[in-house]
Amino acid sequence: MITSRLVLRMFLMIYCLCPSFQQEPPFVYNGFDQAGNNLHLDGGARILPHNGALQLTNDTLRQMGHAFLQQPIDYNSSEPVSFSTHFVCALLPAGYPSGHGMAFVVSQSTDFSHAEPTRYFGIFNASSNESTSARVLAVELDTALAPELKDISDNHVGIDVNSAVSKLSANASYFSDKEGRSIEINLLSGDPIQVWVDYQGTMLNVTLAPLKTEKPSRPLLSAASINLTEIVQGRRMFFGFSGATGSIMSYQYVLGWSLSKTMGTLQSIDISKLPKVDHPSNKHDLQGYEMHIRSRLSVSSSSMARVLLQILIITSLHLISPSSQQETRFVYENFTSQENLYLDASAKVLLPSGLLQLTNTSDYQMGRAFHKKPIQFTSFSTHFVCALVPKPGVEPGHGLTFLISPSLDFSYAESTRYLGAFNASRSPALAVELDTIWNPEFNDIKVRGGHVGIDVNDPISIAVAPASYYSKGGNVSLNLLSGNPIQVWVDYDGSMLNVSLAPLEVEKPSRPLLSHPINLSDIFPNRSKLFVGFSAATGNSVCDHYILWWSFTTSGGGSLHRLDISKLPQVPHPKPLPTSHPKKLPQWIIIMIVCLGVAVLAVLAGVYFHRRKKFSEVSETWEKEFDAHRFSYKSLYKATKGFSKDEFLGKGGFGEVYRGKLPQGREIAVKRVSHNGDEGVKQFVAEVVSMRCLKHRNLVPLFGYCRRKRELLLVSEYMPNGSLDEHLFDEAKRILSWKERLVVVKG
């Protein structure tokens, strides 16, 4: 047995040292437990001993992992540069949200010392993002939305050439030949996903499918004009994988891999032999690793082997948590203990509940609460629960912020729209605002329910969105002023700030509400430690601003304390304004009011009909034939002061005569002629109208007429010297001689 063991060890040493034993394509790996010597692993990449899966990243912050073939693939000048690859991968969330993603990579080199994690996938960096110096072709499986890289979603596939900005991208999906349509794939489902990448000539095709689905006939992405030799600057290329995390993390696995220079020689992956995907933990990994070592040790289990195994396990434990001593982590389940809490202005803790109140409903208030000790960090995650409770009958406002500041001196700060953190000039601070007042001069958006913004050094937001949260493929609105508790998450990975909201009983959404690149060293130069806390303010608009719970860590979101909703203090809600109900009137009063109303209406109706009857007229169609001016009875009534006795001039053979004055100032004489019926009226009117046409100096001109029932009114010019009959029949005056009478007749 000892001899066979030594022979096996010698064979393994020769295999590792001799390049001729290295595998050349085509090859296939159904798990990677036998592939260690053929792969170059760096960063967080490793082969899990308990199942043979290739793990690129785990739940460590800002991690990179690379796994490449040890030897490059050379294409001689006589053969075309082409390849086909088929691999099975799985991405498991490590908290919510999760990211950033992994990529299949063809590169000139395996030196990625220049690369950065997060959205750069451990392949690129900010400087190489727009240049050709990276010399990399990558097919990315991206699970974090980066708008500055022109990402289309947080679940997409892209083709990258020398840059993390994809040349071509599409939402993760596959074409179902059976159903004749594209079906979405969730990259972060944790389920194994098949990926095919085929390159021939200058055409690159990328295809996805679930594990037990045949390769679809239609690729997801198809990019032309891809010149691989130009990208990598030669005909020697390294093939492999890369993955990365940031402040959001995920477990990224490759379970199987087949590679060939041509499609025809690509070997099939045996799905039945692939390792099972699980959710690894540090303890689980160590147990698996220990079992892997034990299976290769002698059955006798010598004491030396035990000692070596213990040393190896202790060393592994140390390597797994290298930064645990540097982590700052705290939680306020409530704020009863104020030992590490700095309160400023109107901020106070309500006892015995331990509820932190930043402002009450007084005008022009400010309140601030900070963790008393400054913290050194390059990344952080925080989770807090707040509530904004409006005062009934008053316009609510203004809002609160999660605030990062180099100092606790806010003597310069103002209330109202400055939220107790800023003033009209610039102030060094980074704030995530929950704003309930629209201020267009601050680039606020006008939405009902308030908005969320990221502020740097002043209240003019550099990123803003309506208060909402992502759920079931869409955004659901949140009303910041509902008075209900709201969860807020703020995650910063060193370059990207993500803000997420959700109601109290909803898990952290998979997609943040806001995501914006931030460089803390630019905002706070020469400051290694910063204060974190909250600020709120009121103005003419007021409300109670509360913080119920707060957790903070300088590590990833996975190390945040878990919220226990049952332990949260109750939010006090003010009593609503009493609704005034008018006293019910006694029935007899109601009856009296109704009767009085009816009586008033009857009187008004009587007056109306009386006046209508009083001024009523008679008009017939034949009157229009004479084309005579017709006066309204109402105008004649007013002109004669209601046919007053004071205006009475006399009584003739046909009726009474009254003096009148029209509104224009002309004096008139109105004769009221009575008749008992309509007979002869037409003939009489005709004769009167014909008289109007006569031109004689001693005849009084006729202006017009008015006709009422049994009454005819003639309107003529008023003669202040009287009429002719006074000089013919009045014995008190001189009687005209016949000669004078003839002169009058002749005119």
* DSSP state string for 397-459: --EEEEEEES-S--TT--SGGGTTT--SS--S-EEEEEE-S--GGGT----TT-EEEEEESSS
The yes-or-no verdict on residue 17 having pLDDT over 80 is no
Strands 329-332 and 543-553 turn out to be: antiparallel
Pairing of strands 514-517, 375-376: unpaired
- CATH top-level class of 326-567: mainly beta
Average pLDDT over residues 253-278: 91
| pLDDT tens digits, one per residue of 673-691 | 876 655 556 666 666 666 6
> How far is 461 from 445, CA to CA, in rounded Å?
10
pLDDT tens across 614-670, in order? 777 777 766 666 667 888 888 889 999 988 989 888 876 667 889 999 988 889 998
β strands within 524-654, DSSP E: 529-537, 543-553, 648-651
Evaluate if residue 217 carries a pLDDT over 60.
Answer: yes
Residue 282's pLDDT is 42
CA separation, residue 454 to residues 299, 503, 515, 522 (Å): 62, 20, 9, 15
Give per-residue pLDDT as tens, 91-115. Answer: 999 876 788 899 999 999 999 988 8
How many residues does the structure list for the chain?
Answer: 747
Q: What's the whole-number mean pLDDT along residues 28-46?
A: 89
Per-residue pLDDT for 731 more than 90? no
Task: Provide mean pLDDT across the span 396-405.
Answer: 95
Most confident of 419-428, 489-498, 615-624: 489-498
Structure tokens at 375: 């913290």
Number of H helices, E strands in the chain: 10, 41
Mean pLDDT of the chain: 84
Q: What pLDDT is stored for residue 600 in this prediction?
A: 94
Q: What is the pLDDT of residue 59?
A: 84
User: Is residue 528's pLDDT more than 50?
Assistant: yes
Neighbours of 492 (CB within 10 A): 22
- The confidence score (pLDDT) of residue 203 equals 93
Lowest mean pLDDT among 225-239, 361-375, 615-629: 615-629
Does residue 720 or residue 180 have the better pLDDT? 180
Residue 255, token pair as written in the block: 């379970």
Cβ within 8 Å of residue 383, ≥6 positions away: 487, 488, 489, 508, 550, 551, 557, 560, 561, 563
For residues 32 and 47, is the Cβ–Cβ distance under 8 A?
Answer: yes
Angle at 124 between CA 123 and CA 127, to 5 degrees: 160
Taking the C-alpha atoms of residue 651 and residue 295, their distance in angstroms, rounded to an integer, is: 146
**pLDDT score recorded for residue 629:** 80
Query: What local confidence, expressed as pLDDT, does residue 12 receive?
Result: 45
User: Would you place residue 729 in the very low, low, confident or very high pLDDT band (cuts 50, 70, 90)?
Assistant: confident
Q: Angle, to 10 degrees, between the axis of helix 303-320 and the axis of helix 282-296?
A: 150
The predicted pLDDT at position 666 comes to 87
Q: What is the pLDDT of residues 346-360, one digit of tens each?
A: 999 999 999 999 999
CA 565 to centroid of chain Cα atoms: 26
* CATH architecture of residue range(s) 621-746: 2-Layer Sandwich (3.30)
If you average pLDDT over residues 159-169, what whole number do you get?
A: 93
- Is 709 assigned to a binding site? no
Residue 296 in this model has a pLDDT that exceeds 70? no
Confidence of residue 299 (pLDDT cuts 50, 70, 90): very low
So what's the pLDDT on residue 7? 42
Per-residue model confidence (pLDDT) at position 689: 66
pLDDT at 129: 54
Q: Which residue has the higher pLDDT, 479 or 296?
A: 479
CA distance 635 to 668: 12
* 283: pLDDT strictly greater than 50: no
The pLDDT of residue 714 is above 90: no
What does the pLDDT read at residue 23?
56
Beta bridge partners of 139: 104, 159
pLDDT at 314: 44
**If you average pLDDT over residues 522-543, what whole number do you get?**
93
Q: How confident is the model at residue 28 (pLDDT cuts 50, 70, 90)?
A: very high
In this prediction, residue 613 carries a pLDDT of: 74
Confidence of residue 315 (pLDDT cuts 50, 70, 90): very low
Cα separation of 35 and 25, whole Å?
A: 14
pTM greater than the 0.75 cutoff: no
Least confident of 222-236, 414-428, 630-644, 694-708: 694-708
> What share of the chain has pLDDT > 90, as a percent?
52
C-alpha span between 28 and 267 (Å, rounded): 6
Place of tokens 């160590």: 286
Half-sphere exposure (Cβ direction) of 513: Cα atoms closer than 13 Å: 27
| Confidence category of residue 715, pLDDT binned at 50, 70, 90 | confident
Greater model confidence, 640 or 3: 640
Q: Which residue has the higher pLDDT, 569 or 737?
A: 569
Q: Give the fold, CATH level 3, of 21-271.
A: Jelly Rolls (2.60.120)
- Alpha-carbon dihedral sign for residues 282, 287, 292, 294: positive
For residues 457 and 314, the model is more confident at 457
The percentage of residues in the chain with a pLDDT greater than 70, rounded to a whole number, is: 84
For the chain, how are helix, strand and coil distributed in percent, rounded to 5?
25, 35, 45
pLDDT at 677: 59
The pLDDT of 231-250, averaged and rounded, is 91
Compute the distance between CA of residue 203 and CA of residue 199 in angstroms, rounded to an integer: 6
